[in-house]
Amino acid sequence: MDFFTQQDRARRNTRYLVVLFGLALALIVILVNALVTAFLWVGRDYNIYAGGSGWEGYLALFSWERFGVIGLAVLSTVGFVSLVRWLQLASGGKAVAESLGGRRVLRQSADPYEKRCLNIVEELSLAANMPVPALYVLPDERGINAFAAGVNPADAVVAVTRGAALQLNRNELQGVVAHEFSHILNGDMRLGIRLASLLKGITFIGDVGHFLLRMGAYGVGRSNRRSESSAALPIVGLGLMVIGWLGSLAAGFIKAAISRQKEYLADASAVQFTRDNSGIADALKVIGGFVPGSLVHSARAPEMSHIFFGEVRHRLWEGFATHPPLEQRIRRLDKDWDGQYLQRAEVRYGTEPLSENDVQTGVGRAALVAAAMASAGLADSEGTRDQASSDATFSTDEDVADSRIRDESDADALPQTLHDSVLEPLGATAMALTLVTAQRESQPLEAALAVLRSKGARGQLELVTDLLPQVRGLHPGQRFPLMATAMPALKSLSTPQYREFKTTLLSVIQSDGRIDLFEWCLFQLLRHYLDPEFLRVENSRPRYRHIAKVRAPLRQVLSVLAHQGEGDSARAFALACEELGLSGLTLAPLEECSVAEFSRGVHTLADCYPLLKPRILKAMALAAADDGEVCPVERELVIAVAAVMDCPLPPEFALG
């Protein structure tokens, strides 16, 4: 199965389907105009004014001026309601999860099933090059389901139903969570919120009609001498209800079609993440053989049905299903499926406790997944992407473990003591400070510790001192994964605590009078993923539509990246320029590649239009892999630039 071809096809079809929403909105404008004209036509005075009856009299009342006014009113109403709904949903994945009855799972949870889910989310975060999103559980839902919500990876959350946590084994649950991570990295969450917002705007027309219908009925009951206009109010209300129903029917059909394409894409991407098709395929088979299936009973579930892993309601007609049929999804993942679902007795909490090994954190497993992704990414960069995907075999955990022993060093896994130290806020903040100070010796180190003393942060100072020897023993490639693991604890800080932490970190970075690339990358990564939790953030605005408009900042950024590798800097720079279609650019000398200029260049690139950003990151990934190996500094640069640009990393670039 060529998963990459399937992903490209799904993306292309989705673009076509989005256009249909605009057509549905245009149809609503036409229908509302037809309704208003009909209302005028049936009025006695307007019939006399028209000078005719039948179609001639009806058409005589048509006015382009009125058509424009009504069209503007309809579009403004739909736009305003959609904007209000967008602002509600765009406040972060937390708001969506809580509106659906979700409860946040904390690291201190004593529930072994919740701890297992936390560990899986952590593993896949490391493999996907992104900070660990908050995990929510829907405690009252027996059905097997899950969803990811948020506008971007910075405010994303992953949620699972209680049924999914209990009924699925570790491999199956990992496939489901990988599916949701695919939605995060493919940008599906933003599209899902837009669809929900627009659908609310369209259905609002029907709500207005319902209101007018009730007002007309109320007027009839209160007055025996009502005017003809008030008598016609229920008719207008009924007409608007019908139009709203037709609009929501069209919008629901298009939403379902878009969602189905995204589900195929996420299924394929989940296999790409885990390098194993059995997990997600078996999870779908369990849903098919489970009596509650994937049903979700939350009142808001139908509105957000397109963000879930499985169908949340029974559908009378498959055309309105937001997910493809289970059979089709399974056969795309497992072509040898015998058509039999997995029958599994329902697990009740506390009746079958998990083994200690099943609950243990899977940092080592995350390294295995990351290593598999890295090898796939390297093959892609060498032009063998299609061959790699078609020849890939899907391994069991034992197979992957064996390859890990053969091909990778045990140093790839995070030390357990350091991993555990960042699971609570004080340890997480101390780790960020330690990563900065661990690069220093003698006077620069003393200057950093002096900042902590001056801040009165005695507890942090002691932790930093204790952590220094262990952090200095880390492989450079382990620094960012460690901070990714610390993100949930950092997000649990209060706003004053976060402000103080950010100020202290910046003071420590600046204490030696200079900022190196790692310090810049670390600070930008933390700022990007944490600021939206505590501060009002002003997002970048698209300003540059063409690559030619950002030649100067691209030269600076690509030059800095090219100088970090161990291969030929000029060749890496030229490869990136060729990918972007740039000619005439020359590699900047190393002495001109300052961190300040690099920072300004990256923030300028953040103002590019959305379609340009993936191209730029892909070019950076190709330059980084030019010598056949992505060094830790190159990896950190690309990850930090992707964070500042608010753009997912290219699939060719993986954390190895």
Phi-psi map region of 520: left, alpha, beta (phi>0 left; psi -120 to 50 alpha): alpha
List the end-to-end C-alpha distance of the chain, in Å, as a whole number: 24
CA separation for the pair 153, 190 (Å, rounded): 10
Tell me, what's the pLDDT at 555? Answer: 93
Tell me, what's the pLDDT at 52? Answer: 53
Tell me, what's the pLDDT at 401? Answer: 35
Is 372 or 168 the better-scoring residue by pLDDT?
A: 168
Q: Examine the pLDDT at 295 and tell me if it is beyond 50.
A: yes
CA separation for the pair 545, 533 (Å, rounded): 30
Q: Examine the pLDDT at 282 and tell me if it is beyond 70.
A: yes
Give the mean pLDDT of 627-633. 82
Range scoring the smallest mean pLDDT among 104-108, 167-171, 396-400: 396-400
Q: Examine the pLDDT at 9 and tell me if it is beyond 70.
A: no
Site of tokens 């559980």: 137
Is 7 or 296 the better-scoring residue by pLDDT?
A: 296
Looking at every residue in the chain, the average pLDDT score rounds to 77
Range scoring the smallest mean pLDDT among 369-378, 414-423, 579-588, 590-599: 369-378
CA separation for the pair 655, 484 (Å, rounded): 12
A 10 A CB-CB count for 34 gives 16
CB 148, CB 181: distance < 8 Å: yes
Tell me, what's the pLDDT at 399? Answer: 37
CA separation for the pair 491, 488 (Å, rounded): 5
The DSSP line for 44-78 is: HHHHHHHT--HHHHHHHT--HHHHHHHHHHHHHHH
Tell me, what's the pLDDT at 245? Answer: 75
How are beta strands 146-149 and 134-138 bridged, if at all? unpaired
Tell me, what's the pLDDT at 598? Answer: 92
CA separation for the pair 184, 153 (Å, rounded): 6
Most confident of 425-429, 478-482, 533-537: 425-429
- The one catalytic residue among 180, 303, 519, 634: 180
Range scoring the smallest mean pLDDT among 38-47, 606-615, 619-628: 38-47
> What amino acid is encoded at 653 in this protein?
F
The strand pairing partners of 308, in sequence order, are 147
Helix (H, G, I), strand (E, B) or coil at 148: strand
Give the mean pLDDT of 574-581. 91
Tell me, what's the pLDDT at 432? Answer: 92
Give the mean pLDDT of 108-125. 87
Of 474, 639, 617, 634, give the one whose Cα is nearest residue 554.
617
Most confident of 44-53, 83-92, 297-306, 549-558: 549-558
Range scoring the smallest mean pLDDT among 75-79, 178-182, 255-259: 255-259
Residue 158's φ and ψ, nearest 5 degrees, are: -115, 135
CB 414, CB 478: distance < 8 Å: yes
How are beta strands 157-161 and 134-138 bridged, if at all? parallel
CA separation for the pair 189, 176 (Å, rounded): 16
The DSSP line for 515-530 is: --HHHHHHHHHHHHHH
Q: Examine the pLDDT at 284 and tell me if it is beyond 90.
A: yes
Q: Which residues of 393-404 are buried (b: 16+ CB within 10 A; e: fewer)?
A: ebbeeeebeeeb
Site of tokens 């201190």: 108
% of the chain beyond a pLDDT of 90:
21
Is 25 or 450 the better-scoring residue by pLDDT?
A: 450
Q: What pTM did the predictor assign? A: 0.64
CB 130, CB 67: distance < 8 Å: no
Q: Examine the pLDDT at 136 and tell me if it is beyond 80.
A: yes
- Give tens-digit pLDDT for 389-416: 333 333 333 333 333 323 333 445 678 8
Tell me, what's the pLDDT at 225? Answer: 45
CA separation for the pair 27, 129 (Å, rounded): 43
Tell me, what's the pLDDT at 312? Answer: 85
Most confident of 10-14, 244-248, 376-380, 577-581: 577-581
Helix (H, G, I), strand (E, B) or coil at 456: coil
> What amino acid is encoded at 474 in this protein?
L
Q: Examine the pLDDT at 654 and tell me if it is beyond 90.
A: no
- Give tens-digit pLDDT for 184-228: 877 677 777 777 777 777 777 777 776 767 665 555 444 444 454
Tell me, what's the pLDDT at 430? Answer: 92
Q: At what angle do helices 612-624 and 632-644 cross, to 10 degrees?
A: 170
CA separation for the pair 303, 197 (Å, rounded): 10
Q: Which residues of 187-208 are buried (b: 16+ CB within 10 A; e: fewer)?
A: bbbebbbbbbbbbbbbbbbbeb
- Give tens-digit pLDDT for 17-74: 567 777 777 887 888 777 777 776 665 444 444 445 566 666 767 778 878 888 888 8
Of 499, 484, 385, 483, give the one whose Cα is nearest residue 436.
483
Alpha helices in 91-227 (DSSP H): 93-99, 112-127, 162-167, 170-185, 188-222
The one-character DSSP state at 653 is -
Site of tokens 């089709």: 328
Tell me, what's the pLDDT at 274? Answer: 79
Q: 143 vs 88, 267, 444, CA distance in Å?
A: 27, 19, 56
Most confident of 242-246, 279-283, 343-347, 583-587: 279-283
Tell me, what's the pLDDT at 408? Answer: 36
Of 545, 546, 544, 571, give the one whose Cα is nearest residue 558.
571
Site of tokens 């060729």: 578
What is the pLDDT confidence band of residue 571, given thresholds at 50, 70 and 90?
very high
Tell me, what's the pLDDT at 480? Answer: 84
- Give tens-digit pLDDT for 326-383: 899 999 998 889 989 998 888 776 555 565 555 554 444 444 444 444 433 433 333 3
> What amino acid is encoded at 553 in this protein?
P
* Strand ordering across the sheet containing 103-104: 103-104, 134-138, 157-161, 146-149
Q: Examine the pLDDT at 550 and tell me if it is beyond 80.
A: yes
180 is catalytic: yes
Q: Classify burial at 484, counting beta carbons within 10 Å of its beta carbon; exposed 0-12, middle 13-18, buried 19 or more.
A: buried
Of 14, 15, 640, 634, give the one whose Cα is nearest residue 377.
634
